[in-house]
Amino acid sequence: MDISNDFTKTVDILHRAMDASLVRRDVIANNIANADVPNFKRSVVNFESELKRALDSAKNKPVLELTLTNPKHIPNWRERDYREVQPRRVLDYVTTAKNNGNNVDPEEEMMLSVQNQLMYTLMAQAQTFEFGQINLVLR
């Protein structure tokens, strides 16, 4: 087990998750600002589920791997690099909360904002802990 590699990967994942949290903050603020605009559709940020899929792809390698004899063949499995996962803003066209076509619920957005702030704080503390562990080893 390479401790340096684990540390680097952990800090990199935390950094990317914190970046996604900042994008989510901006999206939530935009949703709240447009809560009264007719036909405005709220947006959400999709990141954590895609990151989990990328991290799990290394563990879920199939037992039987197919041989590709032609470059046009579709592989049955491809490992995803977690570094390629980016936060993605997605519009919510499905729900409609108001008669004017707007689907923003300000109370829900405020709750999501607080939840996002707490997650950001938790990730910052986790990153501080990781660097603290390195400082402890170096003493």
* Cα(68)–Cα(76) distance, integer angstroms: 10
Q: Give per-residue pLDDT as tens, 73-111.
A: 777 667 788 899 999 999 988 887 778 889 999 999 999
Cα separations in angstroms, 48 against 10, 22, 23, 68: 14, 13, 13, 31
* Cα(114)–Cα(105) distance, integer angstroms: 15
Its pTM surpasses 0.85? no
Q: Give per-residue pLDDT as tens, 44-69.
A: 999 999 999 888 887 777 666 777 78
Based on its alpha-carbon atoms, the radius of gyration of the chain, rounded to whole angstroms, reads: 20
User: What is the CB neighbour count within 10 angstroms for residue 40?
Assistant: 19
